[in-house]
Every structure is written in structure tokens, then in C-alpha cells.
Amino acid sequence: MDRHWRIEWDQEQLAWLHFDMAESSVNLLSLETLEVLDSQLQSLQHSAAKGLVILSDKPAGFMAGADVKGFALPSSEEQIKAHLQQVHAILQRLEELPFPTLALIHGFCLGGGLELALACDYRIARDDPATRLGFPEVRLGIFPGYGGTARSFETLAPLDALRLMLSGRNIDARRALHIGLVDRIAAERLERITARHLLKEAPPKQRPKLSQRILNSRPLRLPLAWMVERQTAKRVRKAHYPAPFALIDHWRHAGDQRAQLFEGEAQRVPRLLRSKTAQNLIHVFFLQERLKSLGNDSGFKPQHLHVIGGGVMGGDIAAWCALKGLRVSLQDREAKYLSRALASAHQLFSKRLKSRREVQAAMDRLMPDPKGNGIAHADVIIEAVFEDTRVKQSLFRKLEARARPNALLASNTSSIPLEIIGVAMRRPERLIGLHFFNPVARMQLVEVVHGEQTAAEQISRGASFARRIDKLPVPVKSYPGFLVNRVLMPYLLEAMELLEEGVPGPVIDKAAVD
């Protein structure tokens, strides 16, 4: 049995190629896994197979993409180009097999994994909310380099392909079916039957309609590229994020020429990957991965959150947590604040969720609780009232008596040391800070603040809670400004000094942006 890849044959002479990367929780396209894949494809070329299905044995998903650790290694542009051309050849071998091929996708299918799937004749995605497809490369300062641009423009309408690659965002199975990225969606129990039927039927490959293909022709492509470039420039600066603009230029010059698209990847991606921007973004990626691992060993699985304070921050924290599936009780003495918080939550749910049923389910999880009845049942209690030391001390003294003994007690304070708030508590070691940033729905970081007396277990539980609601926990000491504001303040103070010295405000703003 080969390492990473395993072939299973059925009675219909279909080959089922299972990907199960050794010593990894997810499948990645590393140098080793690609070499083994190439060996398997070479043996299949001369087999009696009537079809090939590529699937994953990992519960997490199909493939998480290329092994990003390799991107951080000091390689020359020539070495990177040679690697891309090697992968082009491997996926070309897959594409040219003398029988139909199919990618059976569940969970994450990202980056290089999606590029491999596009090299198959057909794609079936599991009809499940966990199924996500996308090209996140632009967030690493590059764009797809394993043939993904060429095959995306062949398979999708040009603007759909650009949108997928420029945004870096993932789409679900149903959206993928709608734009033609996958050929079928199927429930888990029907996946294999659907795969067999599709391989047996062997319809023509997915291609965009003529009215969409014509947009790839040079006369229409050039003005479209200009328009997309202008829209992109409104969101990001080329000097800071060159990859989106390089991708648009790549399409502008080679949009309907397959060979030129492959060559363009091999030329442009190495230059981008060697840039300071890409290396910094890759460094940020690894930092994020480290933060995502925090709290994994605590075993804390909160189900019910109680938020005290229905103002902007408290209401937004409550809404976000309800969106992420927690039961949330929101407490405030003023009914007007609860009403505003619920209206704001409904706007968030309507924007983020696809159906009225999902919106209603999220609203049902968010309960106005003016009397604080949820305190006795909550796994996590977050205080988000105004910054008044005596008010917070009194609040936590009462909370300690009413809350469950194992409930996580947290303050969203941005300025009052935990040691001062905890003076009124019998067990100040229970108290942590969970400092969210505004707007909560957009800002990824949550500072998990610990004071001198905070128990280590509580810090870990705070990190687990942050991960449960899809935020990145940053452990920090209870110190003025914590981390983010301590980094920000020198910039703001320097700007104020320059303004006092007579430097015009617009000049200061331009320097900050540049």
C-alpha cells in the first residue's frame, strides 16, 4: 500500500483513489504527496480502469490546499517555477487519462485541492454546510499556480472565475453548483451512487454558455479587466497587495489562451511568492494557525452565553454568538437597548444567512433577558456595561453568587485592570477579560486577558470560547491597552504631534495609508 494514496477497485472496474495524508489531520499537496500521486496516475494510465474517483479519507474534508510550509522556505524564482511546472505536468496527466475522472468532494476543497478537482472531468460536492470550495491564495499574496486560472476560466463564466479567485472567500456546495464549479451535489449516502452514474453517463465537461465565453475574447476582455481593476483598487492598494492586480493582468493578457495561462502562472506566481508582501502574509497565516490551536486541550464546550449590557458592544457580541450557534441571553435594564440589539442582530442574520428559516432559528437563539434569568444556566457570562469601576465590581460580586460554579466569568473592559475589578470577588481567579473589537462581526481578534490571580485553566477556557465562535484568541496580560491598543497608540500620538507641529491632516492621513 502506497503512503498517502490508496487505490480501491470495484466490480465495475472503477478505481477509487483515496487520499489520506500520513501524520496529518488534513490532506495537503506537499512535494511527497504529489510525487506519490504522480506514481499512481502513471500506473492507472496503463490499467483497465473504466473510470477514476478521487476522494478523501479525512473527516475534515477533501483537501486543504498546498502545503504552505513549503512556501515559507527560501527558494529562488527558478526553483518555484520548476515546481509549478512539475505540478502542471502531474495534473495534465490526470486530465489526459483515457477514461472519465471525478473528484468526490466533502468538507474543505481549497487552493491546490480545488485545482486538482478542476483537472478531473467531473466534480460532485456533498450537500452539506461543511462543504466549502475556494481559492484562498490571494490572502497569501499570490494567485492559483497549479493550473487553477486556466481551468477556472475554461469551466466558469469569466467574472465568476475572477470573483472566486480575487475574493479569497469560500463558497458552499449549492453556490458551486449554481456557477458550474461542480456538476452535481449529493447527500452523503448517495455520493457513490451519483459518482458511478455520472462516470457511466460521461456527459460533456462543464463549460460556460457562449454568451459568457465571449467575454473571454480579447475585444471584451480588455475593457472588462479595466473595470474589475478599478473596482479592486477601491478595496485594496496595489502597492500593499499586488496579487489581485497581477491576477487581473494575467487574465487581461492570456484570458482565452490555455497555454499562455499556464505559462503566465509559472512566470508570475514565483515573483509574487518571493515578494515581501507574500512572505509577510504567509507569516501572518502561520500566526493565525497558532492562535487557532489555543484552547484545544481545555475540553470546554460552551452552549449558553449570557451577556450583560445591551449597548453596541454587548448587543453585537450577543448577535455574533447566536449567529455561531450558541444559545444567548441578553440582559439590560433598558428595554430600548434590547430592542435596538435585536433589530441589529436581525440585520446581521439576514445578511449572513441564506434562508428565512435560518434567520428565524438564529433569532430564536437570542433571548432578551431583562431580569438576568440566564445567569444561573450560562456556561459563559460576559459583562459589557459602561466603564465604571464600582459598577463592574458590584456586578461581579453579585454574579459570583448567582452563576454556576464552573461558569466562565468575563469582562469586556478595555481600560480597567482585572485586579481592580476582582477585588470584590471571593474567587478572583475565575475572572478573565474577553476584549472584542468593533465591529464584532468583522474583527477576528479577541484579546483573552488574564490578571495576576487568573487561573491558567480559565485562560484556556477563554481561548476555547473564542474558537467556538470562530474568533482568534490572543492571550494578553491585564496591562493598559492590552496588545492591540498599545500597538495602535504610538501611531495616533505621533499623528497628533505632527498635527500640532503644523503638518496638514490630509498629509498625515496619506502617510499613514502609504
Q: What is the DSSP annotation of 448-462? A: EEE-TT--HHHHHHH
Q: Percentage of the chain surpassing pLDDT 90?
A: 91
**Catalytic member of 4, 88, 250, 435:** 435
User: How far is Cα 299 from Cα 306, in angstroms, rounded to an integer?
Assistant: 20
DSSP β-bridge partners for residue 434: 448
DSSP β-bridge partners for residue 448: 434, 475
Q: What is the DSSP annotation of 143-212? A: ---SSHHHHHHHHS-HHHHHHHHHH--EEEHHHHHHHTSSSEEE-GGGHHHHHHHHHHH-PPPP---HHH
Residues with Cβ within 8 Å of residue 252, at least 6 apart in sequence: 221, 222, 225
Q: Mind listing the pLDDT tens digit of every residue in the chain (514 residues)?
A: 578 999 999 999 999 999 999 999 999 999 999 999 999 999 999 999 999 999 999 999 999 999 988 776 667 999 999 999 999 999 999 999 999 999 999 999 999 999 999 999 999 999 999 999 999 999 999 999 999 999 999 999 999 999 999 999 999 999 999 999 999 999 999 999 999 999 999 999 989 999 899 999 999 999 999 999 999 999 988 988 999 999 999 999 998 899 999 999 999 999 999 999 999 999 999 999 999 999 888 889 999 999 999 999 999 999 999 999 999 999 999 999 999 999 999 999 999 998 999 999 999 999 999 999 999 999 999 999 999 999 999 999 999 999 999 999 999 999 899 999 999 999 999 999 999 999 999 999 999 999 999 999 999 999 999 999 999 999 999 998 899 999 999 999 999 999 999 999 999 998 888 7
Record the cell numbers describing residue 128, joined without a space.
452539506
Would residue 46 show up in a list of annotated catalytic residues for this protein? no
Record the cell numbers describing residue 33, joined without a space.
504527496
Q: Is the peptide bond before 439 cis (omega within 30 degrees of 0)?
A: yes
pLDDT tens digits, 442-481: 999 999 999 999 999 999 999 999 999 999 999 999 998 8
> What angle do the packed helices 312-323 and 335-352 form, to 10 degrees?
40
Please write down the HEC assignment for all residues of 92-126.
HHHHCCCCCEEEEECEEEECHHHHHHHCCCEEEEE
- In terms of DSSP H, where are the helices of 255-388? 258-273, 276-292, 312-323, 335-352, 356-365
Q: If we measure between CA atoms, which residue out of 122, 15, 104 comes closest to residue 63?
A: 104
User: Domains in the chain, start-ordered, CATH in brackets?
Assistant: 5-286 (3.90.226.10), 301-482 (3.40.50.720)
User: How far is Cα 452 from Cα 479, in angstroms, rounded to an integer?
Assistant: 10
Contact yes or no for 40/17 (Cβ under 8 A): yes
Contact yes or no for 36/4 (Cβ under 8 A): yes
Instruction: Output the pTM of the full model.
Output: 0.86
pLDDT tens digits, 65-122: 999 887 766 679 999 999 999 999 999 999 999 999 999 999 999 999 999 999 999 9
Amino acid found at 296: N
The helix (H) or strand (E) run that includes residue 409 is: strand 408-411
* CA dihedral sign of residues 67, 72, 74, 75: positive
What 3-state class would DSSP assign to 446? strand
User: How high does pLDDT run on average in the chain?
Assistant: 95
CA gyration radius, the chain: 26
pLDDT tens digits, 59-81: 999 999 999 887 766 679 999 99
What 3-state class would DSSP assign to 225? helix
Q: If we measure between CA atoms, which residue out of 453, 445, 449, 443 comes closest to residue 422?
A: 453
pLDDT of residue 72: 65
pLDDT of residue 74: 62
